[in-house]
Structure 1
Amino acid sequence: MTDTKLEERWPREDREFFSAGLLDWYLAHKRDLPWRRTRDPYRIWVSEIMLQQTRVDTVIPYFLRFVERFPDVTALADAPEEDVLKCWEGLGYYSRARNLQQAAKDVKERYGGVIPNDVEAVAGLKGVGPYTAGAILSIAFGRPEPAVDGNVMRVLSRFFLIDDDVAKPKTRILMEGLARELIPEGEAREFNQALMEHGAMTCTPKSPRCLVCPVMERCAGRLAGRENELPVKSKAKPPRPETRLAALVEGRGAHAGKVLIRQRPAQGLLARMWELPHWPAPEESGASERPRTGTGTRRSGLPAAPPEEAVRDRLRRSLAGAGIAARPGKHWMAAEHTFSHLQWTLQVYLCREEELPLPMAAEARVPYGAAGAAAPGEAPAGEAPEPVLPFEAGPGSSGDSGPHRWIGREEMAGYAFPNVFLKLLNAYFDQREQGETRGQEPE
């Protein structure tokens, strides 16, 4: 956008008032955050990736642990992916961690482990979009690059009364042009952080704190009484609901006290992370709302578990098809896991390991078995690697097979789990320790 067009739509005096007022407010009131105590581009980069879709209070302990474990680009590039995912465990959106590590490998290989002060180079790193590139370049290097995310678009929409749909690419381009012009000379580092801080602390999505806003005097959205209507944003398509049956298989004999987990495929949703085995619920029963009684615990507000007969049949066939000899038992708990495009309702059933009948062993594609305390992907010293057990691919998986393992609570530290499975496993072991879990014989 040319200066003439800027002047026509947003007068210079309003832009200068906004920039000066916001900068003065930030310098006086900014929060003391760990990534603001450094100009190290690596640490700023890590913080910006973690802060995507995640609250500041949640990120702080993860950030501190992560940079202690991986203090620089080379340390991150050279680390086993399992260690990176474990350090990220519970933060969600795990593709962020994988992309961050892949980008670190690229920086090590192409730039000698030094993050370059170059727009094209930084923007070309995996997982680095226009906002993150602008944040790294402005905060770490002081370059006058805009850093426009949802918070910033909300602030600009309200102050400048911009009606354009912020979900559209052309609106982002418009706001990036405006944000670039708003940066005071030599103040890119502080001003971009001021915009972010203002959106997080004052010009919030709901109930904006207009009375303490440092620029409310000229806020066009407030003056028009439209601060709660802006920004304009078309609704995203809601995630598709899907009911899945999860098997919490309790071991016996050599596996007593342990449960069975499996690793997801190397590509796709939650790639290479560990979970309880689970499969899509029978279609004819997935929408059932019939309440259940006497069959375990169910979180309030989640869909009721499907009918018992269909569930047991589905679990029995799925477990056997994966080479797992286990008897499905009672419903234990329900939980949700939401992705941007998909929402799982996991109906968890307690199952009990059984000896594999000889006919089944002869028909199984691989021998039945799973490792005990071995690290992910490794066999105990002096032993052959455990066989990989195939599992049925559901929606969102690539169809590749993944290994299974028997683990106790003390071994969970060696595996990276999505948050929902981490909570389920901890709840199960808590109950075991409290003596609340009983035998899983079907009724």
Structure 2
Amino acid sequence: MPDLPVVVIGAGPQGLTAAAHLVERQQRVIVLERGDSAGAAVAEWGHVRLFSGWPELVDAASRRLLEAAGWQAPARGYPTGAEWVERYLLPLADALGDRVRTGVNVTGISRAGRDKVVDGGRRGAPFTVHTLAADGTEGRIAARAVIDASGTWSQPNPAGADGLPALGERAARDFVSYRIPADVSEFAGRHVVVVGAGHSATHAILRLAELARTSPETRVTWLLRRGSATSALGGGASDGLPERAALGVRARRAIERGEVEVVTGFRVSEIRRAADGLGLVSEDGRVVDGFAHVFALTGFRPDASILSGLRVALDPALEAVAGIAEEIDPNIHSCGTVAATGARQLAQPEPGFFIVGAKSYGRAPTFLALTGYEQVRSVVALLVGDHEAAARNDLALPETGVCGGAGDFGAASAACCSPLLSIGAAPSGR
């Protein structure tokens, strides 16, 4: 099938990078993006500043393609998502030209003329990628290989601690948000709750803490499932990415100033509606009530529905690519302890099909853009038969300074490289 293109699903950072590497290798490629423009998902969190600097956000092959058209890479600084899109992703999509097709939703992938059960002639059959355009037109694209870089942005996790929506969460959907807020001014003087311990939750906490400084009647409560705030506050000076470390430092100061109340060991089981607002009930019976809004920032999960026609191997716990699951398990690893994962680890039972980027990590929260760039470099090398380049590891990741993940909710989450950051647990309330 040498005349067929490689189809890349998603025109985000990893999808566009895959296309740039394929173009550099003189391969036909089609990128399918369901958004109205490249980088559509990143644009939705465009108000958030990244903790990776420009050098970590620009892929080498993409840089070469762009510089050939006169583009100059930003030398320093930490862009917002909007700046990343405007100054890098959109120019990269423009450089790729009509290879990038927007407004096209992929509805399924299979082998031409063979469903998932059929063995005979499977390996030699091209992939068939089913699409649905914005105007309702259905289509199919034949491909020699498929790279799924569609990400996880469309599938936020619920507030419920058991991974399912808490009781009453669906009914309270008008009062629950699953994205980092851009503007929090409407919550001035009100009680707002943030659920989650990752960087998204920390970003939201900092925005709300700033509101509490200017509007002292504002009350901000941070609910953490763990028995300690340590891992939520990061690795401090031991973090290899200074801006990531700064998030935790600023959050700690907001807590110490009394702008944010922390409640630890709170695992949401129910959201209740009451006359004075909403109430959250923990699995152990504690209640946080009287609040106006909850930001459930508990991570994301992959959508595997378009893969139902393929033979894929996903880890049963993480829903990550099985070949990398042990390497990225958040119960064990931080971003910095995860080794680069290449084509060999990303290989699927369906030859020629790869899941890359955040989707390859499933529910694991340790993904960095640098990792995705290395993934697609290796995958593209394998697709063109450059086995030496595919096996090579060109990446070194910065440590976070914090280890341990979802395992022991009651533990204090030891830091890998630094002393524990001590934040006292508040009584029931937040």
TM-score, length of structure 2 as denominator length: 0.26
Higher strand content, 1 or 2? 2
Higher helix content, 1 or 2? 1
Which structure: larger Rg? 1
